[in-house]
A and B are shown apart, each in its own frame.
Chain A
Amino acid sequence: MTCQQLIEFLTEYIEGQLPLSQRAAFELHLALCGQCRAYLHNFRTTIEAAQNAFDDPTVATPASIPEELVQAILRARRSN
């Protein structure tokens, strides 16, 4: 397995969808290749960062809906 092949299957590896035989080759390459270990680490960090990006209390707290928008929606319903 080359670095290129390993990186191609990273998402499947992380989500536990690699068949067992491929998984063994994958982990063998990882054990021997510092570059791919670094890439895997950064890749995992990226996914976590994306998952957490919107947990910021200033954006995540039940965004309020502007009053004009509430009224516009209710008007649109009546005229519909």
Chain B
Amino acid sequence: MDHDEVLNDADADALLIAALRAGEDSAFETLVRRYGGRMLSVARRLIGDDDHAQDALQDAFLSAFNALATFDGRSKISTWLHRIVVNAALMRLRSQKRHPEQSIDDLLPAFKADGHQEAPVARWKDSGESTSDRAEAQALVRQQIEKLPETYRTVLLLRDIEEHDTETVAQMLEISVAAVKVRLHRARQALRTLLDPVFGEQYS
């Protein structure tokens, strides 16, 4: 057998885990360099602040190093680390719990007594966007996501952006599946309100 045959991911993971468990310094460095960048972007998305995201990444790696013995190899290292960094970021968010959160009510649609919406709804134009407009629109959307109250932003990020399913998000946040559904729906509605000036404008 050709010995420079390319390792598949599972084999590469298994070798790295074995080296980590054997306590090889170079293996820890490989792990941090190979996965750290991606994990840092996840932490940044959830926390918003770069310094705290870096702290969360450090927390995440330390818990990963401590949990090496319990990594069972059934999931990929990348998946395992993703879970760990999300948890580390959520822990940071919980312990930070800054000023009382802004109420989401003002961002939800208002209704008249007969069940019709208070304000008329204008249909946004379909985007027939060029690449530069696209990058600009994405930046605007990220800014608006940032404005969502934290409770709701976290659920939106985990469901719509990190693409975890409802049950997983419920476990991560230690809340019920029903609460995840309610928060997701409100977060999407609030984001729609925040995006109205961005996407509605093109219409007029």
Task: Give A contacts to B, CB under 8 Å.
Answer: 2-5, 7-8, 10-12, 35-39, 41-43, 45-47, 49-56, 58-60, 62-66, 69-70, 72-74, 76-77, 80
Contact = CB atoms under 8 A, between A and B. Distances in A.
A62 B135 CA distance: 17
Contacts of B37: 62-65
B195 A49 contact: yes
Interface in B141-176: 141-142, 145, 156, 160-161
Contacts of B142: 53-54, 59
A64 B37 CA distance: 5
Residue picked from A5, A37, A43, A60, most chain B C-beta under 10 Å: A43
Nearest to B123: A38
A5 to B, nearest CB: 7
A73 B61 contact: yes
Given A53-B142, A62-B37, A80 B188 contact: no
B111 A3 contact: yes
Contact of B62 (A36, A63, A77): A77
Contact of A63 (B25, B40, B120): B40
Interface in B99-121: 109, 111, 114-117, 120-121
Contacts of A10: 185, 188-189
Interface in B29-54: 29, 32-33, 36-38, 40-41, 44-45, 54
Contacts of A45: 124, 127, 195, 199
A11 B199 contact: no
B115 A4 contact: yes
B57 interface: yes
Contacts of A58: 135
Most buried by A among B25, B62, B117: B117
A7 to B, nearest CB: 6
Contacts of B124: 41-42, 45
A72 B116 CA distance: 57
B33 A42 contact: no
B139 interface: yes
Given A35-B120, A63-B38, A50 B161 contact: yes
Nearest to B137: A49
Contacts of A42: 121, 123-124, 192, 195-196, 199-200
A47 B185 contact: no
A51 B32 contact: no
A58 B117 CA distance: 39
A69 B57 contact: yes
A65 B36 contact: yes
